[in-house]
Amino acid sequence: MTAQQVKPGDVTLERRGHVALVTLDRPQAHNALTVAMLARLAAVVREVNADDDLRVLVLTGAGSRAFSAGGDLGELIPRLTAGEVDVLIPDPTKRFFSDFYKPVVAAVNGLCLAGGLELLLGTDVRVASDRAVFGLPEVRWGLVPGAGTHVRLPQQISWPNAMQLLLTGETVDADEARRIGLIGEVVAPDEVLPRAIQLAETIAGNAPIAVRTAKEIAVRAWANEQRFGLESALNARVLASRDAREGPAAFIDKRTPRYENR
């Protein structure tokens, strides 16, 4: 078992046999994603992908309060609304874990909101704490979840449930998330990571080529590249609006947004 030494607010990689444990490590900010963290996560995923000894990736958030509360509204969103969309999505036809065919097990230990939920949608097997909360609040702040959610969410749960999450900005608890098929298991908080590791080790014990191929067939059969491209193009329209600047500003100032529909 080895762990890389990293600074707080980074993304850590720990090797546990054939399992790669990847942790979003910014607990003081509910593991909100910065530009540096997104770049580091992409680098870690490439590293795991290139290591034949690592067969399964487990993704979790540091601390007990959050998997991830989404993108850092003070740093990431201003760059996106300024037109730097590539800091989040370098390739408009790809999303989190798009070309990563090793299985990804999510261990959700608290808030899973906005970009955090978008990360979750790129995972394959999902274990959550009975205290976990899930939601897509972007429309409340003049934004849309542009990292694949409009495509992946209706593929993974029913259309009415997907649209209710997308259009209301409301949250659901772990039991409801399991009922609608967003997650697979709900366990006590102290059992989340052990159960995720257990599932990962079970998967890692199977034939690696067969496991990777099973996932690749399932992912590639959706042929989502064109759909992701459409989302990217229309998300750019939202990010260019005045409302997309007003919403995050209101969130930071802790006031009600004043939207102009422009």
Q: Is 231 a catalytic residue?
A: no
Q: What angle do CA 220, 103, 96 make, to 5 degrees?
A: 65
Q: Which residue among the candidates 75, 84, 118, 191 is catalytic per the annotation?
A: 118
User: Is the CB of residue 113 less than 8 Å from the CB of residue 72?
Assistant: no
CB-CB contact of 64 with 189 (8 Å): yes
Active site residue 138: yes
Q: Which stretches does DSSP call E strand in the chain?
A: 2-3, 10-16, 19-25, 56-61, 66-68, 104-108, 111-113, 125-129, 133-135, 171-173, 185-187
Cβ atoms of 57 and 48 within 8 Å: the answer is yes
Q: Considering the candidates 138, 176, 216, 231, report the single residue annotated as catalytic.
A: 138
Q: Which residue has the tokens 């009415």?
A: 160
What angle (nearest 5°) sits at the alpha carbon of residue 71, between those of residues 69 and 77?
145
Cβ-count burial 4-36 (b if 16+ within 10 Å, e if not): eeeeebbbbbebbebbbbbbbbbbeebbbbbbe
Phi then psi for residue 181, to 5 deg, are 90, 15
Residues forming the active site:
118, 138
